[in-house]
Amino acid sequence: MSNTRARKQLGTRAMKKILKLYVFFIIIFLHAQEKNMLLTSPNFSHNKEIPSHYTCDGKNISPALQWENVPNNTKSFALIVDDPDAPHTTFVHWVVFNIPAEMRALPEGVKKGNFAQGITDFSTPQYGGPCPPSGTHRYFFTLYALDTQLDLAQGATKEQLLDAIKGHVLGKAELIGLYQRKK
């Protein structure tokens, strides 16, 4: 009798361990199926040259941007465009926040919309295109999916934006463009 009971207990423990492993692998599998948020532009590819049309050598308008694989519960997006290769400090080219959660793109040349823009290192609350003083610079377009609308005023700085999004980032996507002046 005790031998049978011991086998049943052993069988029950083994089944519980197998069930736990099964659940663990299902969770890992489902997590692996989640796609990372992706930021792209129809105007240039990741780690490729930004056309001069979007720079100080051209019309100096923002390129079109689009994103997908947005995390659940996203309430808004924020975008920062900066140049870490600028002399002395990272140069801020664009700060955009409170982009509505239902948006999945910003059109080329967008100046205003149902979002707020922060101050750039050009001292303006709008896009300022690449204009490196020398050599090839990298321009990081970083999009954040947030679990909140931000309580920031139009004209906020990049630093104020980064402080405000702490603890609210659900996802992040990055697109890097390169530019060297032609003139």
Residue 82 neighbours by CB under 8 Å, 6+ apart: 90, 91, 92, 93, 139, 140, 142, 158
Sign of CA dihedral 120, 121, 124, 130: negative
Q: What span, in angstroms and rounded, lies between the C-alpha atoms of 60 and 55?
A: 4
Q: Nearest-CA neighbor of 94 among 143, 37, 166, 43?
A: 143
Choose between 21 and 105: higher pLDDT.
105
Could you write out the DSSP letters of every residue in 4-53?
HHHHHHHHHHHHHHHHHHHHHHHHHHHHHHSPPPEEE-SS--TTEEPPGG
Indicate the range of 4-13, 41-50, 88-97, 121-130 predicted with least confidence: 4-13
| Model-wide pTM > 0.85 | no
Q: What is the dihedral of CA 180, 120, 117, 78, to 10 degrees?
A: 70
Q: How confident is the model at residue 17 (pLDDT cuts 50, 70, 90)?
A: low
Indicate the range of 8-12, 132-136, 150-154 predicted with least confidence: 8-12
Per-residue model confidence (pLDDT) at position 116: 97
13 pLDDT above the threshold of 60? yes
175 pLDDT above the threshold of 90? yes
Per-residue model confidence (pLDDT) at position 23: 55
Per-residue model confidence (pLDDT) at position 32: 42
The sheet with strand 91-100 has its strands ordered as 48-49, 169-179, 137-146, 76-83, 91-100, 116-117
